Structure 1
Amino acid sequence: MHVALLQMRLLLPSRTLKEKRAIVKSVLARARNRFNVACSESALNDQPADAELCFVTVANSATRARQLLQELEYWLVSERPDVQIIDLQVEDL
């Protein structure tokens, strides 16, 4: 079993924490349903225009785990063009 972590820092088109919460909750719920990953907002909770999200997956091989997280990244870019990825890190745990 291999565990992989994807950590993203995002720039959001929100001006208030309420708008941010709606965007983040939507992204997290859709990622859970589509990719079967564990995910959460890990930092920058009090900044309305920035978010840091973490996604974790478990797979039979390290290659498959990284591939799934890469698909998630491409999905986010295509699904939410209004959200910009500022920083991205992938780790094998």
Structure 2
Amino acid sequence: MTDTACILYSELEIHIPYSQSLKDKRQVVNRFRDRIRNQFNASVAEVGSLEDWQRAGIAIVMVGNSRTHLDRQLSALQAHALEIVDGEIQWHSREWL
């Protein structure tokens, strides 16, 4: 029996209503990215709304050998994200690759 890798891809959007510049936005995005990377060992990248001051499109990718484990990790990540982000989060997708 061979082991297979499971890849979970998720996208979200952060709305940062108080941001007045790209610098403000980058501070929020960088802080969010660093905390998620450190806590969950996930790959995080800003992929959308790059020039919009008050919105950030974020992609998160996690790799593991169990879908169940990755599902639990993403649920924990979502709960943690709501606590740490300096804005409002809207989850858009969850996809297995």
Q: TM-score over 0.5 for the alignment?
A: yes
Q: Deviations over 1:26-85 (max 9, x none)?
A: 1001111110001100111000000000110011111211221121111010123x4111
Report the Cα distance in structure 2 between the residues aligned to 1:5 and 1:76, rounded to whole angstroms.
16
Which blocks of at least 5 consecutive residues in structure 1 are unaligned? none
1:43 corresponds to which letter in structure 2? G
Query: Aligned residue for 1:7?
Result: 11
Q: Output the aligned Cα RMSD.
A: 1.1
Report the Cα distance in structure 2 between the residues aligned to 1:48 and 1:59, rounded to whole angstroms.
34
Runs of 4+ with >2 A deviation? none
Q: Is the 2:32–2:84 Cα contact (8 Å) retained in structure 1?
A: no
Displacement of 1:87 after TM fit? 3.6
Counterpart mapping for 1:1-93 below 5 A: 1-13=5-17, 14-80=19-85, 82-93=86-97
Which blocks of at least 5 consecutive residues in structure 2 are unaligned? none
Report the Cα distance in structure 1 between the residues aligned to 2:96 and 2:61, rounded to whole angstroms.
10
Give the number of the structure whose alpha-carbon radius of gyration is greater: 2
Percent identity of equivalent pairs: 27
Q: TM-score, normalised by structure 1?
A: 0.91
